[in-house]
Amino acid sequence: MPKRVDHAERRAQLAEALMRIAAERGFEAVSLRHVGAEAGVTSGMVQHYFRSKDELMSFALEVVTERAHARATAAVGEAGSVREEVRALLTALLPLDEARRVEGRVVLAFMSYSTGRPELAEVLRQNTVAMREHFAGQIARVWAGENRLGMEPLQAATGLVALVEGLGVHVLGEHYAQEEALAVLDAHLELLLGQSMRRSG
Amino acid sequence: MPKRVDHAERRAQLAEALMRIAAERGFEAVSLRHVGAEAGVTSGMVQHYFRSKDELMSFALEVVTERAHARATAAVGEAGSVREEVRALLTALLPLDEARRVEGRVVLAFMSYSTGRPELAEVLRQNTVAMREHFAGQIARVWAGENRLGMEPLQAATGLVALVEGLGVHVLGEHYAQEEALAVLDAHLELLLGQSMRRSG
DNA sequence: ATTTTTGCGTTACGAGTGCAACGTAAAAGG
DNA sequence: CCTTTTACGTTGCACTCGTAACGCAAAAAT
């Protein structure tokens, strides 16, 4: 055999090339040849590692979700309180730097692309479901059984995830500055988890 | 001249064909030939009404935003109070029936597609900005100068729009049922505009 | 040293693309 | 009636696409 190559690493490199193209030139510019060129190889090499374009696409989506998951768990590790953890998790999902903007664009593209492709849609769905349940648990802990905001923890969690999703989309589209999005997120976190809640009734 | 045709109407028909394709088969299935076939004509006819594919795409985006705007203003007309109006506006944006699901998918596709296409991105941006400002004004009216939730009306409005955007995306992706999304929206509206706010301090 | 396996490039093919050019039937204007 | 204009359809071109087939060098296995 030749130079013994790490299969997983090569696949990851190609997935990264795909993400760069999707983020910079749009999803329709993603082709085997372009991905190869972006990675400095030929389309034949891409074919060697992915049996079809669909397989390449699926793998890229998995990479991007794994990356987001890794950043999220890293952020959790640094948090001291539940509220800090929730905030760290949510801000880890916002496109606040170039790397996350690229990932955000890729995820957005996949959201549209997954129409009529159940396997891809399922990956995205599981992601949302997991986050929803995680936040619901954390919110329930903070609320400690009391529910003075007129909603269930799961509803609050669903709203929080949706809020961040929407803020992310708007920041990506440069509808407003990321500082505004962060301020809005903080205000809503304060509303849900802050002291003011204990003063309400 | 031949059968004297309403130019605007034909363009609208083609835009609708485009939307149907984009919603059912995905954005990459949108081609001049497919749009023509969906509308029951040839690609040459499409070329007759749109000088380029880009022009067709831009027009379709305008159509979809105009349609959403029309539904929004119609919903406002039926509202009796500010809160009802806000709720009507927001639910008019959620993909709660097939027509709105189609539009939602098209908008989502355009969000991704508009990467690197400033004219398209600007249309989406203006939409968000307008809604943000509108809701900020309405919230300010309801709050009547008092601000007990620890955020500005514009921030509350931004959060509301982002929340609905996120809920819409999740419902489109079938991450959860639309009833859940509606319940979450109502809970948040209650939080922002309901009586409980007057009881908080 | 020879065989086998692997990594990767090259080439080719059919299909689909946007677009330009041309053809033509029909209706309005003279 | 005849010309002009409009509304299409048709054809063709240059290009890109995904995929399959083949080629070949290099390294491990024997």
- Confidence class of residue A155 from pLDDT cuts 50, 70 and 90? very high
What are the angstrom distances between the C-alpha of B114 and each of A118, B58, B101, B121, B132? 24, 10, 20, 5, 21
pLDDT of residue B62: 97
Interior angle at CA B190, CA A128 and CA B165, nearest 5: 35
Nearest by CB to A163, from B26, B117, B159: name it.
Answer: B159
Torsion of CA B37, B39, B45, B50, to 10 degrees: -110
pLDDT of residue B199: 43
pLDDT of residue B71: 94
Nearest nucleotide to B37 (CA to C1') is D9
Distance from CA of B120 to the nearest CA of A (A): 10
A125 to chain B: closest CA residue: B175
- Confidence class of residue A195 from pLDDT cuts 50, 70 and 90? low
pLDDT of residue A12: 97
CB contact under 8 A, B125 and A174: yes
Write the pLDDT tens digit of every residue in A3-24: 678 999 999 999 999 999 999 9
Residue numbers in chain B where pLDDT is lower than 50: 197-201
pLDDT, chain A, mean = 93
**Is it the case that residue A196 has pLDDT exceeding 60?**
no
Tell which residue, B121, B151, B157, B122, has the closest CA to residue B137: B157
In terms of pTM, does the model score above 0.85?
Answer: yes
Q: Residue window 151-190, chain A: list those with CB within 8 Å of chain B.
A: 151, 155-156, 158-159, 161-167, 169-170, 172-176, 180-181, 183-184, 187-188, 190
Distance from CA of A4 to the nearest CA of B (A): 37
Q: What mean pLDDT is predicted for residues A168-179?
A: 98
pLDDT of residue A200: 42
Torsion of CA B72, B76, B79, B82, to 10 degrees: 110
**Is it the case that residue A28 has pLDDT exceeding 80?**
yes
Distance from C-alpha of B161 to C-alpha of B156, rounded to nearest angstrom: 9
Write the pLDDT tens digit of every residue in A101-144: 999 999 999 999 999 999 999 999 999 999 999 999 999 999 98
pLDDT of residue A2: 59
Q: Compare B3 and A44 and report the one with higher pLDDT.
A: A44
Q: Which residues of B touch A188 (CB under 8 A)?
A: 151, 159
What are the angstrom distances between the C-alpha of B6 and each of A122, B32, B37, B52, B72? 44, 20, 20, 20, 26
- With the C-alpha atoms ordered A110, A112, A118, A121, is the resulting torsion angle positive or negative? positive
Output Rg (C-alpha) for chain A, integer angstroms: 20
Distance in Å from D11's C1' to B60's CA comes to: 28
Asked if A196 is an interface residue toward chain B (Cβ–Cβ < 8 A), one would say: yes
Nearest by CB to B158, from A125, A173, A180: name it.
Answer: A180
CB proximity A95–strand C (7 Å threshold): no
**Is it the case that residue A201 has pLDDT exceeding 70?**
no
